[in-house]
Structure 1
Amino acid sequence: MPFAAEQNHASREKLVADLKSVVADADELLKLTAGQAGEKLTDVRARLADRLAVAKERIEDAEAAVRERTRQVAHATDDYVHSHPWQSVGVAAGVAFLLGLLAGRR
């Protein structure tokens, strides 16, 4: 997987995690204000509850998309390694050599 694709994938995963955190905090806020009275507060809580439901659906969709893309990349990598075993071994050996050099310097 190219570096930009890995970075994009990591960004999506972080976004999903951040959104889950925001949704959880908003959900907790709704629960904490459940006993509060007032028409304006009731309206705000209702809108927030609706938006939370939509956000939860979108997060689930985003997670499913990330999982599917990860599966596709893993399958493509597996296919490539099976099609080009010696090139894959060479790349792995090269990476291991470079990591060994870097680790040996410390």
Structure 2
Amino acid sequence: MMEKIPTQSGATDQLLSDLKGVIQDAETWLRQSTQLTGDELKAAKAKFERTIGKAKEDIVRIEQTVVEKTKATAKATNEYVTENPWKSVGLGTAVGVVLGMLIARK
């Protein structure tokens, strides 16, 4: 009924690594910018731009993964509710009662 969707932790880890790289490259570039010659400055800028580009690609990939997971979850929920309407009503009622009791306690 529910399909298994791959986790995004690897992509998140890669994104964090890329963002750390962007920060490190920026710090290095700022520290050395007064000492770098024309070609060295161009090379440092190109490396910085590549790192930023990779981080942007990782963000897009994570966003696509989240959208796919959300769609799959919505589809699975819709299928479950369609196949089990009375169970869904009962579950919703139970959750409502519990939340009402918790709110009333305060």
Q: TM-score, normalised by structure 2?
A: 0.64
Distance 2:41 2:93 in 1: 63
Distance 2:69 2:47 in 1: 33
Identical-pair percentage: 33
Unaligned runs of 5+ in 1: 1-7
Greater fraction helix: 1
CA RMSD of aligned residues (A): 3.3
Per the alignment, residue 49 of structure 2 pairs with: 49
Distance 2:69 2:99 in 1: 28
User: Structure 2 matches for 1:32-47, cutoff 5 A?
Assistant: 38-39=36-37, 40-47=40-47
Query: 4+ residue runs of structure 1 moved beyond 4 angstroms?
Result: none
Q: TM-score, normalised by structure 1?
A: 0.64
Larger radius of gyration: 2
Per the alignment, residue 3 of structure 1 pairs with: none
Q: Secondary structure at the match of 1:63?
A: helix
Deviations 1:22-41 (A, max 9, x none): 59x96xx6xxx7xx663344
